[in-house]
Amino acid sequence: MRTITARDIQVFVAGALASAGFHAVISLVYNIGHGWNAREVFAWAMVGLLLPLGIGILLRNHLALLLTQIYLWIVVIGGIIAPVVSGLLQLGAFRIRFLGAYAAGVGLDCVLLALLLWSKSGRFADARNA
């Protein structure tokens, strides 16, 4: 039976990120003419950054891997802190329509970040080369 390598994990994460980024870019381009507000356009554009980052990881670009880790850290920490701060300060501008979907999205980002960090650990023989 074949063992999982650090590269296998990174390719899996890259595929998940590129898929989400591709969906965001298509959604942004399709709906930008339908009177979206600037906040939604910015949010979809930020998610759309995952497409080039995922492709960069597939092409073994170390900068893309580093930028992806930074991106995921920001998204995970911000995704945890934003609803708490919004609830405490009772900000009307930040409201979550579907809390379950929001929590699932933050959970997915946590899992992808954990997988990337795990792939860089010393457990894998190819982690230094990845």
3-class secondary structure per residue, 21-71: HHHHHHHHHHHCCCCCCHHHHHHHHHHHCHHHHHHHHHCCCHHHHHHHHHH
The reply to whether 107 falls in a domain is yes
DSSP annotation of 121 reads S
Residues of the chain short of pLDDT 70, as ranges, are 1, 35, 90-95, 125-130
Q: What is the spatial distance between Cα 124 and Cα 107, in angstroms, rounded to a whole number?
A: 24
Looking at residue 94, its pLDDT comes to 63
The reply to whether 93 falls in a domain is yes
The reply to whether 83 falls in a domain is yes
pTM metric for this prediction: 0.84
Residue with tokens 């959970």: 107
Domain span including residue 33: 6-119
Q: How many domains does the chain have?
A: 1
The reply to whether 125 falls in a domain is no
DSSP annotation of 97 reads S
Looking at residue 101, its pLDDT comes to 84
The reply to whether 130 falls in a domain is no
The reply to whether 57 falls in a domain is yes
